[in-house]
Structure 1
């Protein structure tokens, strides 16, 4: 159930998410798979609202001059607003998240359940930190709940993930 109180088909939601292939490009098959899963998870349940603008919305993520572009439109393609976010506040957490995910995947093969759980707790903590940074960077521009911010960060990370 979406958190806008109107069910999965309410107006405060993303109805479509796409990647601007012109600025982001295609990834390898593993990257494309991770991106598709992230988009599916976002669309499955989200809360996304533009103050003063009625949704639902279609979001296209892209890169413009080393900034993350949130091009928001109606589901029919009518532009609503575009926000550009500097990637600088995300660079450290993306790098750290990539390292801890690599540690996690390596640990699954050889580590004890306690060690795996400890690494996973660290991974979740970084994921939460990144989603809070995203919410702060979009504050006053886009209203997101915590879970939607987490799912969007997963997609942003999948854009950088080397596979």
Structure 2
């Protein structure tokens, strides 16, 4: 084990609910990159379980709610938090629309057009990340970069192709 896995306030594994299925190559790429980046660098600490990590996270959607099932490295359950998706609906919808524009632009637009779309995409992503961080406050402590990576996965859970 290298030093990073000894840090207690971090994720060592992230799983998306198996009912999600597969999607387009662009979305599959987003999913793989987000999980890789999240595992590589994160700050994740359930407030009810101070310093007893590292943790595993299973993300799923159940009845239009976002479920964070947190367990220890050995799989022992720690806590499950269920968040309403209502505060995310507009952001995720707008994010999907701009991502579609972005993927189309990559194939045919000028660099300045791609950059403009990407700035809008990053702005919406930041808004969604901040909303996620606020919704998890008092439940799970995460930094903004971790919130960004988890928000990407929240979007992937919605993206069914």
- The corresponding residue for 1:116 is 114
- Structure 2-normalised TM-score? 0.88
Q: Looking at both structures, which has the greater relative contact order when contacts are Cα pairs under 8 Å and sequence separation is at least 6? A: 2
Distance 1:109 1:158 in 2: 22
Distance 2:81 2:157 in 1: 18
Runs of 4+ in structure 1 deviating by more than 4 angstroms, as ranges, are none
The structural deviation recorded for 1:25 is 3.1
In the alignment, structure 1 segments of 5+ residues that lack a partner are 1-6
User: Are residues 1:63 and 2:61 paired?
Assistant: yes
Distance 1:101 1:152 in 2: 17
Of the three residues 32, 35, 43, the one matched with 2:31 is 35
Provide the aligned C-alpha RMSD in A: 1.6
Q: Which moved more, 1:33-42 or 1:116-125?
A: 33-42
In the alignment, structure 2 segments of 5+ residues that lack a partner are none
- The corresponding residue for 1:3 is none
1:102-142 Cα offsets, whole Å, 9 max, x none, are 11122222322222111111000000000000000000111
- Structure 1-normalised TM-score? 0.87
| Aligned ranges 1:37-56 → 2 under 5 Å | 37-53=33-49, 54-56=52-54
Distance 1:104 1:142 in 2: 32
The answer to whether the 8 A contact 1:131-1:149 is kept is yes
**Count of paired positions:** 155
